[in-house]
């Protein structure tokens, strides 16, 4: 089987779905023990280094895409107008788009198509997206799902959303969960020098509540900050650490911090790599992730794997991933967020209980499992006809 995978949705910084795309390539190839398949990867020049482990493999080849096609419109043009010709030229048997969008032009009648849909926020929470991206994905997602021979949903909640929103797609839609990197499951607590280096780098000098993720409206960071403001009135020694890059429509976050006079109590780290992120999880009182909607919610899984107690939303995939291993709250109710934070700060027994349950829950997820299940799906798709 000649398989092509498009990784152009992987940004320079591996976050969210970028983590999925990175591990997809690594684990699907690793799962192919007999090396029966060949793989062709569409990759940007800046991200080729991520796949250096597979560069020397005889059954893996790459098309390095010019930076010109990495702009938003450039990527759309490349995926819709260039890749279809390349699929025919290379005689690709199966093409996988992990980033929502299949090429709609078909020049090869034998090629099978697989698309991964992370969530349907472009439909259910469109107000949290901006500009042409919103318009394009509202247009391309239905057409990609219709064209696909198989649709991968990254949680059961997303699968249900897809089946409810689109007709006659249930039979070809499969849940394949994301995983958590083994580095988050290792016990490094004894290495105090690394811990101190990370905490000093971000000027963290007291106990803290942690948020991890992109700064954007859907994540409900505004609600978290308001709840933290009430915590701060009770205990000035606790800080809030917000770890993640700036996304879009984030300005109100910084305005609110200033309005509540929390500049000294709220620390913004920007993007943090996995090695440092481990220590932020490890030392935090808890992770608070009160998102309005998630297709999966990778930070809650990473936190549980480390042993960091989790407070998250009782909606979308988050309740599915966490189950009873964390505290679930209504993200629209800031009082609930505050009460959950207060209880976890004051109750050491509760924190220890959630640490244990979180680690046990995280054992159900792995990138290796994701890779094996995806490869099995490829094989099923090719056997249909």
Share of the chain above pLDDT 70, in %: 97
| In contact, 207 and 265? CB cutoff 8 Å | no
Share of the chain above pLDDT 90, in %: 76
188 confidence band (pLDDT: 50, 70, 90): low
Give the mean model confidence (pLDDT) for residues 117-141.
88
Give residue-wise pLDDT tens across range 69-78.
Answer: 878 889 999 9
Give residue-wise pLDDT tens across range 358-372.
Answer: 999 999 999 999 999
Query: What's the pLDDT score for residue 213?
Result: 94
The rounded distance, in Å, linking the Cα atoms of 327 and 341 is 9
Query: What's the pLDDT score for residue 204?
Result: 95
Give residue-wise pLDDT tens across range 11-33.
Answer: 766 677 888 998 999 999 999 98
Give residue-wise pLDDT tens across range 289-298.
Answer: 999 999 999 9
Which parts of 292-366 fold into alpha helices (H)?
298-306, 318-322, 334-346, 348-362
190 confidence band (pLDDT: 50, 70, 90): low
Instruction: Pick one of 3.40.50.2300, 3.20.20.140, 3.40.50.80, 3.40.50.2000 as the CATH number of 2-179+366-384.
Output: 3.40.50.2000
- The beta strand positions in the chain, using DSSP E, are 2-6, 38-44, 60-65, 94-97, 112-117, 150-153, 173-175, 208-212, 239-243, 266-270, 286-289, 310-313, 327-329
- Number of residues in the chain: 385
Coil vs helix vs strand at 313: strand
pTM: 0.93
Q: Provide the CATH number for the domain formed by 182-362 in this structure.
A: 3.40.50.2000
C-alpha triplet 22, 7, 167: angle, nearest 5°: 105
- Give the position of tokens 């999966």: 296
Q: Show me where the domains of the chain are located.
A: 2-179+366-384, 182-362
Residue 344 has pLDDT above 60, yes or no: yes
């Amino acid at each position: 089987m000649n398989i092509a995978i498009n990784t152009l949705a992987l940004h320079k910084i591996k976050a969210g779905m970028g983590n999925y795309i990175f591990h997809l390539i690594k684990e699907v190839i690793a799962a192919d023990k007999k090396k029966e398949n060949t793989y062709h990867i569409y990759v940007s020049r800046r991200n080729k280094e991520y796949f250096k482990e597979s560069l020397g493999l005889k059954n893996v080849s790459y098309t390095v895409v010019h930076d010109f096609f990495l702009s938003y419109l450039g990527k759309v043009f490349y995926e819709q107008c260039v890749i279809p010709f390349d699929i025919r030229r290379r005689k690709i048997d199966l093409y996988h788009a992990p980033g929502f969008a299949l090429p709609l032009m078909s020049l090869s009648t034998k090629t099978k198509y697989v698309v991964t849909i992370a969530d349907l926020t472009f439909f259910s929470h469109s107000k949290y997206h901006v500009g042409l991206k919103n318009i394009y994905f509202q247009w391309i997602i239905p057409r990609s799902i219709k064209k696909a021979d198989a649709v991968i949903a990254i949680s059961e909640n997303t699968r249900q959303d897809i089946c409810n929103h689109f007709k006659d797609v249930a039979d070809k839609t499969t849940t394949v969960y994301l995983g958590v990197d083994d580095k988050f499951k290792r016990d490094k607590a004894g290495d105090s020098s690394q811990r101190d280096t990370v905490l000093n780098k971000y000027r963290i000098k007291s106990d803290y509540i942690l948020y991890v993720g992109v700064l954007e409206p859907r994540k409900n960071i505004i609600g978290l900050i308001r709840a933290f403001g009430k915590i701060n009135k009770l205990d000035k020694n606790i800080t809030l650490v917000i770890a993640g890059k700036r996304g879009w429509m984030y300005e109100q976050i910084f305005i609110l911090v200033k309005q509540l006079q929390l500049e000294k109590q709220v620390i913004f780290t920007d993007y943090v790599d996995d090695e440092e992120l481990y220590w932020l999880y490890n030392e935090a009182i808890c992770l608070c992730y009160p998102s309005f909607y998630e297709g999966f919610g990778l930070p809650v899984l990473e936190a549980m794997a480390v042993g960091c107690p989790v407070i998250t939303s009782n909606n979308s995939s988050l309740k599915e991933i966490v189950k009873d291993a964390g505290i679930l709250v209504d993200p629209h109710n800031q009082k609930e967020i505050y009460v959950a934070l207060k209880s976890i700060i004051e109750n050491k027994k509760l924190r220890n209980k959630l640490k244990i349950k979180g680690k046990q829950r995280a054992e159900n997820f792995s990138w290796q499992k994701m890779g094996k299940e995806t490869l099995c799906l490829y094989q099923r798709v090719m056997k249909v006809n």
